[in-house]
Structure 1
Amino acid sequence: MPVRFLRHPPRVDLLIAVSGLLGGLLLWFLGLSEGKPLFGLPKWLVLVALVVMSGSELLRRRAPLTALAIGTAAVALDLCTGTLVATVVMYTDLVYAAVLYGSPAVARRLPRACEIGTALVTALALVLLRDPGALLIGFAFSVITVAPAWTGVGIRVHRDRAEAARLAAERTALLAELDRREAVGAERARMARELHDMVAGHLSAIAIHSSAALSIGEPEASREALGVIRENSVQGLAEMRRLIGLLREQTKEADEPAPTPTLDGLDALLERARTAVRDDRFSFVLRDERGPGALPAPVELAAYRIVQESLTNAVKHAAPGEVSVALARDDGALVVRVASALGERPGPRAPGAGAGLTGMRERVALLGGALAAGPAAGEETFWEVRAELPVDEEEIR
């Protein structure tokens, strides 16, 4: 016997079975049986049909087809032995339950089978009885089978639609949660890039000059280093205040830094790098061949940050020599190139987290561009960062 038959039936099924059994027994003792037994069968068999039908009700949800098969045999016995209304009513419930809880194939085919059965019973009654009153037999059969079957279809369709709506709502909620998490992750990544790009250069300069101030015993050189440290500290603090202000969505004062840096500030970036490196053998050169056309704000910000991070890396890692920054327009894209001499230092002049190149790649990927960083082609003594940022003319401010 399958395991599902051994489980306790649902409380509703048990209540239906007990109610039907008690109701049928009450009708029996009151003598309210609807007809006379056929084929000489004893009348007490109607009680057997009642008990079997009540037992079938216990399987209406767990094994609806099995319950319907047993119930069909029980109702046939009931009709041949006197007919109790309680048995017939419970059979209509089994037909309803078979459609509602059965497989989709059963739900599609059983109503049609009931209709065909009703037509055959009606035709057979007319042939045997040769009386228009035989139509009442077909009508009664349809009430017992067709009506509960189509009622089950309606309830099942409504239930399936409700379930589909619930699943759609859950899926929508899940997608909304995934979108929220993705948006939060993207915002965290953006904040990390902004924080790194704005502060890393200042902290690198502070680290380099503080090391120089500690290692050089000359008062004048130490005073100069402390001045650079102070300048970079003030600038870094201003950048932090700007970022915090953006996060808090506060209105900026007119004398605060611009909310979005532009390429017009590259000269200041190069000057800051000259001050930070503290080595006369370094030279910083800007070659701006963009032309007079404007750039979309996202492209200009990405280019500014790429130059800023590349100069920070040059201050920390490059060998003495020229550090060149070149900007040009090429086939609908802004090309940013930063080249510096490769050195053989045992380590960087200032510590770093190694997140700068990752941030540059993320910025370029967001714009659908390309980034390459490594030894320059044909000039392995130089390190080059080259970024191509597509320019959409429709986005130009």
Structure 2
Amino acid sequence: MLTSIRPDRDAVALAVSGLLGGVLLWLLGLHTQGGHPFSAPWATLVPLTAMAAAELLRRNAPRAALTIGVLALVADQFTRGSLATVLMFTDVMYAAVLYGTPAAARRLPVATLLITVASTIGFLAWFRKPEALLIGLVIGLVSFVPALTGVSVRTHRTSAEAARLAAAQTARLAEMDRTQAVAAERARMARELHDMVANHLSAVAIHSTAALSIDDPDTSRNALKVIRENSVEGLSEMRRLIGLLREGGEDQAPAAAPTLAALDSLIEQTNVNGASGGLVCTLEDTREEAAGALPTPVELAAYRIVQESLTNALKHAAPGPVVVRIGRTGALLTVEVTSVFGSRPGPTAPGSGAGLVGMRERVTLLGGMFDAGAESGDGGDGDGDGGTKIWRVRAQLPVAEGTVRE
């Protein structure tokens, strides 16, 4: 409690300098008035000391400081008076507005203005001389002007603090936007990297394992052929990814994004890579040519979903058909990939689950619906008999422009 009202350095400096200045004026015999009830020389020091004490409280207890200051100023009028007491009172009034409550900051200027006007009218009526206006002017300079100055400084400080807080808030929002943009870009590049390379590396892993585990020259030769083809394709995809990273640069033109027109090549490549595992991949595209072109984000997402689904089939699917279905109904593009669900013989490639996460993220960004899982093969679509389970990946993508979420 004591530390909360401890005066700061400025208050101590003002109090000490005011007190010393008043004592010096007293020693020199300089007073502001004379012929008052308490005309003893020492009486002037009492309100001077009280006003100096009020200065000590100017910041931490402005209301108490103003109360003491008003009493000291009134008491000073019954002595010979000291200019130092009056000057310190102006600072106490200024501090009461600047450091006081908002209510005090609103009321004190109005109150001092009313006191100034009322005093001027009163002294004019009493003395009936124009010189009475000087008394009203002095009262205004001692009370109203310091209060008005305090309001001005307080308003400026409040505006500066509001501007500082607004700038800090803007900086925080900008940092949040930057962080979200970086995270979104990293997620996008992670999806692109996974979808570009996973298909080829899965084929390389499966056929290299087969070449190492089966001691047969023809098998090894075929495996090496597939490994070379996928290595070349993977290198080409990596170059395209580098092109995406350098997009907009001076020395690198943006690389073209894959489209659904390239699905035939993707199906053919999957048949080559999955031949040793008994996979037979087919494409059923029921879209009509009159349906019109697809937005680039939708077409890229559809291609990547098919690519990742075929990669998962190559790594995990049991021998049997892998069917890719592409259809368009109104404003929805439907992508569906089915494969036989179960264990498979021969070498396999490990999976991390990142592919399903990436597909779901792509569909969510486009405002579509995504579903993947195992189900019975007798669902009425001819995927298998009642004892066979299939793995189905299904995505519905809106084809209207402006559906991509930032």
After TM superposition, the score normalised by the length of structure 1 is: 0.92
The 1:120–1:46 alpha-carbon spacing in structure 2 relative to 1, beyond 3 Å, is same
The Cα RMSD (Å) is 2.3
- Aligned positions of 1:185-224 closer than 5 A: 185-224=183-222
Q: Tell whether the 8 Å contact from 1:37 to 1:43 is kept in structure 2 after alignment.
A: no
Deviation string for 1:113-138 (max 9, x for gaps)? 21222234334434554555433322
Q: Name 2:382's counterpart in structure 1.
A: none
Q: Tell whether the 8 Å contact from 2:206 to 2:347 is kept in structure 1 after alignment.
A: no
Task: For residue 28 of structure 1, give the secondary structure of its aligned residue in structure 2.
Answer: helix
Q: Name 1:3's counterpart in structure 2.
A: 3
Task: For residue 397 of structure 2, give the secondary structure of its aligned residue in structure 1.
Answer: strand
The 1:348–1:334 alpha-carbon spacing in structure 2 relative to 1, beyond 3 Å, is farther
CA drift at 1:11? 2.6
The 1:81–1:252 alpha-carbon spacing in structure 2 relative to 1, beyond 3 Å, is closer
The 1:286–1:192 alpha-carbon spacing in structure 2 relative to 1, beyond 3 Å, is same
Deviation string for 1:357-386 (max 9, x for gaps)? 111111111111111111347647111111
- Aligned positions of 1:4-83 closer than 5 A: 4-6=4-6, 9-36=7-34, 38-40=36-38, 42-83=40-81
Q: Name 1:294's counterpart in structure 2.
A: 293
Q: Name 1:266's counterpart in structure 2.
A: 263
Q: Tell whether the 8 Å contact from 1:333 to 1:390 is kept in structure 2 after alignment.
A: yes
Equivalents in 1 of 2:9, 2:345: separation in Å?
79
Task: For residue 325 of structure 1, give the secondary structure of its aligned residue in structure 2.
Answer: strand
Deviation string for 1:261-310 (max 9, x for gaps)? 11111111111211222337422111112222111111100101011001
Q: Name 2:119's counterpart in structure 1.
A: 121
1:372 aligns with 2:371: yes
Mean Cα deviation higher: 292-301 or 168-177: 168-177
The 1:346–1:21 alpha-carbon spacing in structure 2 relative to 1, beyond 3 Å, is farther
| Structure 2: tracts of 5 or more residues without a match | 380-387
Equivalents in 1 of 2:206, 2:46: separation in Å?
100
Task: For residue 326 of structure 2, give the secondary structure of its aligned residue in structure 1.
Answer: strand
Q: Name 1:140's counterpart in structure 2.
A: 138
Q: Tell whether the 8 Å contact from 1:50 to 1:74 is kept in structure 2 after alignment.
A: yes
Task: For residue 396 of structure 2, give the secondary structure of its aligned residue in structure 1.
Answer: strand
Equivalents in 2 of 1:163, 1:37: separation in Å?
50
Deviation string for 1:41-60 (max 9, x for gaps)? 64422112112211221221
Equivalents in 2 of 1:203, 1:40: separation in Å?
104
The 1:141–1:393 alpha-carbon spacing in structure 2 relative to 1, beyond 3 Å, is closer
Equivalents in 2 of 1:38, 1:174: separation in Å?
64
Q: Name 2:357's counterpart in structure 1.
A: 358
The 1:208–1:280 alpha-carbon spacing in structure 2 relative to 1, beyond 3 Å, is closer
Task: Give the partner amino acid of 2:193.
Answer: L
Mean Cα deviation higher: 135-144 or 331-340: 135-144
After TM superposition, the score normalised by the length of structure 2 is: 0.90
Q: Name 1:237's counterpart in structure 2.
A: 235
Task: For residue 195 of structure 1, give the secondary structure of its aligned residue in structure 2.
Answer: helix
Q: Tell whether the 8 Å contact from 1:45 to 1:77 is kept in structure 2 after alignment.
A: no
CA drift at 1:393? 5.0
